[in-house]
Amino acid sequence: MFIIKCPYCGDRDHSEFSYGGEAHIVRPKQPTELSDDQWAEYLFMRKNIKGLQYERWNHAHGCRRWFNMGRDTSNDKIHSVYKMGEKPEK
Amino acid sequence: MKNKYSIFSLIKNSFSFHENWQRAWRDPKPKPSYDVVIIGGGGHGLATAYYLAKEHSLKNIAVVEKGWIGGGNTGRNTTIIRSNYLWDASAGLYDHALKIWENLSQELNYNVMFSQRGVMNLAHNLHDVRELKRRTHANRLNGIDCEWLTTKQVKEFCPIINCSANIRYPVMGSTLQRRAGTARHDAVAWGYARGADSMGVDIIQNCEVKGIKRKGDSVEGLETTQGFIKTSKIGVAASGHSSIIANMAGLKLPIESKPLQALVSEPIKPIINTVVMSNAVHAYVSQSDKGELVIGAGTDSYVSYTQKGTHEIVEGTLNAILELYPIFSRLRMLRQWGGVVDICPDASPIISKTSIKGLYFNCGWGTGGFKATPGSGHLFAHTIAKDEPHALNAAFNINRFVSGNLVDEHGAAAVAH
């Protein structure tokens, strides 16, 4: 169980949020030109990192806004929270 | 050669206060090279090694395990075994496993405590009724035993279920697979380990894989915490950590690893004679031979390797359990734990070759891999030995995510993944 700091609302219990999967997967600009392999890569293949992972979350039971988060999946510690469209801190 | 376990060996060993039992398996150091190395000493990995040695006459096999055998998801599941899946490919796969379960104790000379006590899947609304009746018919067309029980028959078969029409999600019927049931999870790993070891398989514990060495498109060996091991064939049965192994070889998998929780109650006298599963309210319960209620909860929504889950998942499951079984309201829970499960987008497993020669993956079993252990090992051994899939696991290849031929068992299996 962990506390997530929503960039709009501040600290809230994680049960208010819903998980949106790996972040920074860009939708193909020209979908009609994609091969099956490229579609599979976009739709299904995931890094599934053990360690620091960048991911999307939605404050579903709060402000309902999407944002990004850097979290260590080996211990659930949150490293950073940043808005959509921003790049993670290095 | 292993001594055979029997009533006579039990009597003989009782005279020496059970202090002189032969070791069930050796504790070898890794050799410099093997023909096949299996990564992961859980049920699936050990079964794979067992069938490689037994049916494919391979002699030089190792299983490497980062912890101790059976210490991962093999020791963390709720031991439910069934084969009542909807799609033909899944029905073939899981019933293949169930048929092996039926003679496994005799084959391994190891009591895996397989108990065909039946598995019920409850229906709580009209949609459930239609879906589960459809699945009953599909199962029977595939030669799998399945019955439909009315609410009255549910009450007769498992009297402690609250079949009142006034509860929030009333029981409107159930499927019953009588051949389904449970087994002792540790015994499965230990039985396969003992069987594989007696045929010369090296089971190497406390040996974590740190890297996979490739030469072009082929594997050459693996770096481990106990040194380099040369091999031309690697079979990966690493469940929740499959993506990490894949990454070492430069591959990506369509898998996300999430915590799945289970819990057990204090032991009580026999009260539930079957396994009851309910998808709609998410409550699975059976009773172990020790008397504990074994309860399966759901997965958390996010990727995590922590082997623990969140409290609200447990709370949701227990709410459902209490509504279905008011008699458990004063029962205390003893233990709760989590396992890291590898979930595919279509909730079906991958037993497959990969784009790298000599690298095979057996993963993506998600929340329901235990039931398939013997079949999974048997088919994975075939795939590794012949370098091509068996007819029963051909549909479970990794290319289905490119071709689109998914085996979508999310709803079809009638369990929540």
Asked whether residue A51 carries a pLDDT value surpassing 80, the answer given is: yes
The Cβ of residue B289 has, within 10 Å, a number of other Cβ atoms equal to 11
Contact B380, B360 (CB under 8 A): yes
B135's tokens = 């699945």
Distance CA B235, CA B50 (A): 13
What is the arithmetic mean of pLDDT over B10-28? 94
When pLDDT is averaged across residues B251-269 and rounded to a whole number, the result is 96
**Residue B24 distance to chain A (closest CA, Å):** 34
- pLDDT at position A87 over 70: yes
Contacts A54 to B, Cβ<8 Å:
none
Cα B342 from Cα A50, distance rounded (Å):
13
Beta-sheet pairing, B359-363 with B350-353: antiparallel
Cα dihedral across residues B238, B244, B245, B251: positive or negative? positive
- Give SS3 for B396: helix
User: Are B252 and A37 an interchain contact pair (Cβ–Cβ within 8 Å)?
Assistant: no
Average of pLDDT values for A24-52?
A: 95
Model pLDDT, residue B414: 47
pTM higher than 0.90 for the full model?
yes
Counting every residue written for chain A, the total comes to 90
For residue B59, what pLDDT is reported?
A: 87
Q: Which residues of A touch B302 (CB under 8 A)?
A: 19, 55
A15–B310 C-beta distance less than 8 A: yes
Residue with tokens 């072009």: B216
Does the pLDDT of residue B2 top 80, yes or no?
A: no
User: What pLDDT sits at residue B3?
Assistant: 83
Residues of chain A in Cβ contact (below 8 Å) with chain B: 1, 14-15, 18-19, 21-22, 36-37, 39-41, 43-50, 53, 55, 73-76
Is the per-residue pLDDT at B209 higher than 60? yes
CB of B389 closer than 8 Å to CB of B379: yes
What does the pLDDT look like over B217-240, one tens digit per residue? 999 999 999 999 999 999 999 999
Give the model's pLDDT for residue B412: 54
ipTM of the complex: 0.95
Number of residues written out for chain B: 417
CA distance B327 to B330: 8
How far, CA to CA in Å, does B193 sit from each of B60, B77, B79, B405, B417?
15, 19, 18, 35, 29
Q: How far is CA B1 from the centre of its chain?
A: 29
CATH classification number, A3-83, choose in 3.30.2270.10, 3.40.50.1820, 3.40.50.970, 3.40.50.300: 3.30.2270.10
Instruction: Give the nearest chain B residue to A18 (CA atoms).
Output: B301
Closest CA to B69 of B95, B49, B87: B49
d(CA B125, CA B122): 10
- Among all residues of chain A, which has the CA nearest to that of B402? A40
Q: Measured between CB atoms, which of A41, A46, A73 is closest to B255?
A: A46
Give the residue on B whose Cα is nearest the Cα of A50.
Answer: B305
Helix and strand tally (H, E) in chain B?
Answer: 10, 18
Tell me the domain boundaries of chain A.
Answer: 3-83
Mean pLDDT across the stretch B205-223? Answer: 96
pLDDT digits (tens, 9 = 90+) for B21-69: 999 999 999 999 999 999 999 999 999 999 999 999 888 999 999 999 9
SS3 B360: strand
* DSSP state string for B270-332: S---SEEEETTTTEEEEE-TTS-EEEEEEE-SS---SS---HHHHHHHHHHHHHH-GGGTTPP
Q: Report residue B226: phi and psi, to 5°.
A: -110, 25
Q: What pLDDT was estimated at residue B282?
A: 87
CB B181 within 8 A of CB B114: yes
* The residue type at B21: W
- Cα B360 to the chain's mean position, in Å? 18
Distance from CA of B251 to the nearest CA of A (A): 9
CB B148 within 8 A of CB B122: no
Separation between Cα atoms, residue B240 and residue B366, nearest integer Å: 8
Could you tell me how far CA B153 lies from the centroid of its own chain?
Answer: 30
Q: Report the first-to-last Cα separation within chain B, whole angstroms.
A: 42
Dihedral sign of CA atoms B203, B335, B176, B312 in order? negative
- On chain B, the residues whose CB falls within 8 A of the CB of A15 are 310, 312
Mean pLDDT of B94-114: 97
* Beta-strand pair B33-39/B227-236: parallel
